[in-house]
């Protein structure tokens, strides 16, 4: 592929910020010096942005009670990122993080109601979203607001249907956009929205709402079909992005908002090659705007009850040691910025329009005949994959 200057291919490079001290519980007693050191680790890797996760019930413990000090802490972290030369994307509804759900008591127990269906809860969410968005966009280095982190993880504990979740997302994106001051607004769903037949979140929602399509690629979902560095495994991020792209408008920007290397599927010895192949494959998509790795720092093992894979997902250890896979990621992104995506890519037609027939989503899930055909359509002699464009049937 021809080489071009980095300026000709802007490609964001960042991390989902997991604090090295205290995990997200650190929001309860913010330590600015600890945050400053964490962000310096990421700036040293040449990153340009972080995605941060304020915890919803700690900011809005009562439906009519928003804590100014908690919102001020969020702005403090944003300013510290700015000092490190980092832009910031802010997620609103946490919601779901690393297998834990954080929901305020005013919508649970005696007040039990669904995040997605209950009018009283939606009204409370809207007031929270307006308030926090209005605060954070006063900081000049905020470039995006995501309405929540993989909000579909809050189902089935919160009832919803395809129609209700679509209406919920459309309403909340509109509320945020009213106060976002021109910042990008993003809707975030994990991949069951594209793969699982009975999942009550529509395949087209992340391409219908907001300013970019976000995708979250994880190989612990059954897509590690041929080992840690095999073509199916290392092309999964690109496959998911291509499938999402097929569900929306042509040329809509795509953000790989989460991708990581869980050690159960990607042992440490294979992580650098996994990173290099994954980045090379997904950056062959001309509409890709950025990669935000999950996550910045490991979780201290003094923190209890996490799934084993969550502890070691960081690019940096809790002792601020940069891991080899972090340097491999930096190098892969730098190379991608200097490389022009292929002008021509093969096209392959899916067996089903999953937007029109979501109950047939299993036909395009990892391991399906179509997925395997997609991998083979772009497979190169060295085992890498040039991602084919996916077309939904008319």
In order, the DSSP letters of 250-317 are TT--EEEEEE---TTTS-HHHHHHHHHHHHHHHTTSTTEEEEEES-SBPPPTTS-S--GGGTT--SB-
Q: Report residue 192 as tokens.
A: 């069951």
Q: Are strands 87-93 and 142-148 parallel, antiparallel or unpaired?
A: parallel
Provide the pLDDT for residue 394: 85
The closest alpha carbon to 266, from 324, 316, 215, 219, belongs to: 219
CB 116 within 8 A of CB 161: no
Provide the pLDDT for residue 1: 38
The closest alpha carbon to 326, from 317, 335, 316, 318, belongs to: 316
Provide the pLDDT for residue 8: 67
- Helix-helix angle 119-136:162-179, to 10 degrees: 30
How far is residue 297's CA from residue 394's CA, in Å, rounded to a whole number? 45
DSSP 99: T
The closest alpha carbon to 322, from 311, 314, 310, 312, belongs to: 314
Phi and psi at 377, nearest 5°, equal -65, -30
Contacts 24+ apart (CB under 8 A), 137-140: 137/179, 137/180, 137/181, 137/183, 138/75, 139/75, 139/78, 139/79, 139/82, 139/88, 140/82
Segment-wise mean pLDDT, segments of 10 residues, the chain, 394 residues = 54 98 97 98 98 98 97 98 98 94 92 94 98 98 97 95 98 98 97 98 95 97 93 98 96 97 97 98 97 98 95 98 98 95 91 98 98 96 94 94
Predicted model pTM: 0.96
How far is residue 136's CA from residue 157's CA, in Å, rounded to a whole number? 30
Give the domain ranges of the chain.
Answer: 8-344
Q: How far is CA 138 from the centre of its chain?
A: 24
Question: What class does CATH assign to 8-344?
Answer: alpha beta
How far is residue 243's CA from residue 287's CA, in Å, rounded to a whole number? 13
């Amino acid at each position: 592929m021809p080489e071009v200057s980095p300026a000709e291919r802007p490609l964001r490079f960042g991390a989902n910020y997991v604090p090295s001290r205290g995990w997200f519980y650190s929001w309860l007693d913010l330590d600015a010096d600890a945050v400053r050191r964490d962000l310096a680790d990421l700036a040293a890797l040449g990153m340009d942005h972080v995605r941060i996760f304020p915890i919803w019930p700690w900011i809005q413990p009562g439906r009519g009670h928003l804590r100014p000090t908690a919102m001020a802490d969020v702005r403090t972290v944003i300013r510290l990122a700015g000092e490190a030369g980092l832009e910031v994307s802010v997620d609103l509804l946490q919601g779901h993080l690393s297998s834990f759900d954080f929901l305020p008591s005013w919508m649970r127990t005696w007040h039990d109601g669904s995040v997605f269906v209950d009018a009283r809860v939606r009204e409370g969410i809207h007031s929270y979203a307006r308030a926090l968005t209005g605060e954070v966009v006063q900081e000049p280095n905020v470039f995006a607001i995501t309405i929540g982190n993989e909000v579909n993880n809050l189902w089935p504990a919160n009832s919803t249907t395809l129609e209700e979740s679509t209406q919920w997302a459309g309403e909340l994106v509109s509320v945020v956009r009213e106060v976002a001051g021109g910042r990008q607004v993003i809707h975030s769903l994990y991949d069951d929205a594209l793969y699982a037949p009975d999942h009550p979140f529509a395949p087209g929602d992340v391409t219908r709402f907001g300013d970019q399509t976000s995708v979250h690629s994880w190989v612990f979902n059954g897509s590690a079909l041929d080992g840690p560095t095999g073509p199916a495994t290392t092309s999964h991020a690109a496959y998911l992005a291509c499938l999402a792209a097929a569900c929306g408008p042509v040329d809509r920007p795509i953000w790989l908002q989460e991708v990581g290397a869980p050690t159960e599927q990607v042992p440490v010895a294979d992580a650098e090659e996994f990173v290099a192949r994954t980045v090379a494959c997904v950056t062959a998509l001309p509409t890709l705007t950025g990669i935000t790795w999950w996550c910045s720092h490991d979780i201290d093992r003094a923190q209890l009850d996490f799934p084993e894979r969550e502890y070691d997902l960081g690019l940096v250890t809790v002792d601020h040691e940069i891991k080899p896979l972090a340097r491999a990621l930096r190098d892969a992104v730098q190379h991608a910025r200097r490389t022009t995506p292929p002008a021509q890519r093969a096209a392959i037609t899916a067996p089903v329009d999953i937007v029109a027939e979501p109950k047939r989503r299993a036909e395009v899930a990892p391991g399906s005949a179509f997925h395997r055909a997609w991998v083979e359509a772009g497979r190169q002699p060295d085992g890498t994959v040039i991602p084919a464009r996916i077309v939904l049937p008319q």
